[in-house]
Chain A
Amino acid sequence: SQQGEEDPQALSIQEGENATMNCSYKTSINNLQWYRQNSGRGLVHLILIRSNEREKHSGRLRVTLDTSKKSSSLLITASRAADTASYFCATGRVYSGGGADGLTFGKGTHLIIQP
């Protein structure tokens, strides 16, 4: 099965700077999603980008998708201390018979925003 890989595994930046995280995957996908997880807590859905889309924005978030390179990036602009969390990309497989499919998560990037 495919496995998303994020890089960097850990990132520490100053508040106000931009943070960029990358994700690569191995097989064909229907969509790619980014999630945030605060330590020991549940997941927060950030953004979903479909395989026929190249870029998507949501507030301070910008996601790109390059299906030819099987990669995606998440950019957080003007970072805040509250953005400190782990960020995961997750891919949904191409449906074979319709309906929902389980997600394959990457290993995650632990982001620390220093005030």
Chain B
Amino acid sequence: GAVVSQHPSWVICKSGTSVKIECRSLDFQATTMFWYRQFPKQSLMLMATSNEGSKATYEQGVEKDKFLINHASLTLSTLTVTSAHPEDSSFYICSASPLVGAPDTQYFGPGTRLTVL
């Protein structure tokens, strides 16, 4: 159990377009979902925390108008990269914290590789 999926697994887009990435908890409900970004050969950096039904909390330096997060249900959060540019090319990983269970447990999705041309 405790599976988190992401869609798409990879995407290539043109500069200036918007890309939506979905994060779903398949077999559990998640009160909180997190979005991380990982540049090549670097570590993961927390971008934002989203709680179902409320506005996301962004980490310092992350533009909330560029990275739109919607957490409309207990099993789905979406990250939209608006007006993407080549510097937004990265590996985006989400994680979900279950409604039931230890709050410090997070289940990670497989990641989405975004390439902006």
Contact = CB atoms under 8 A, between A and B. Distances in A.
A99 interface: yes
Interface size class of A (residues with CB under 8 A): 20 to 34
A106 B105 CA distance: 18
B111 A100 contact: no
A45 B104 contact: no
Interface size class of B (residues with CB under 8 A): 20 to 34
A108 B103 contact: no
B104 A40 contact: no
Contact of A43 (B49, B93, B97, B103): B93
B46 A103 contact: yes
A106 B44 CA distance: 8
A55 B42 CA distance: 28
Given A40-B113, A107-B42, A108-B43, A100 B106 contact: yes
A98 B103 contact: yes
Contact of B44 (A1, A31, A41, A105): A105
B43 A102 contact: no
Interface in B27-64: 31-32, 34, 36, 42-46, 49, 59-60
Interface of A: 1, 30-31, 35, 40-43, 45, 48, 88, 90, 92, 95, 98-108
Interface of B: 31-32, 34, 36, 42-46, 49, 59-60, 91, 93, 95, 97, 103-111, 113
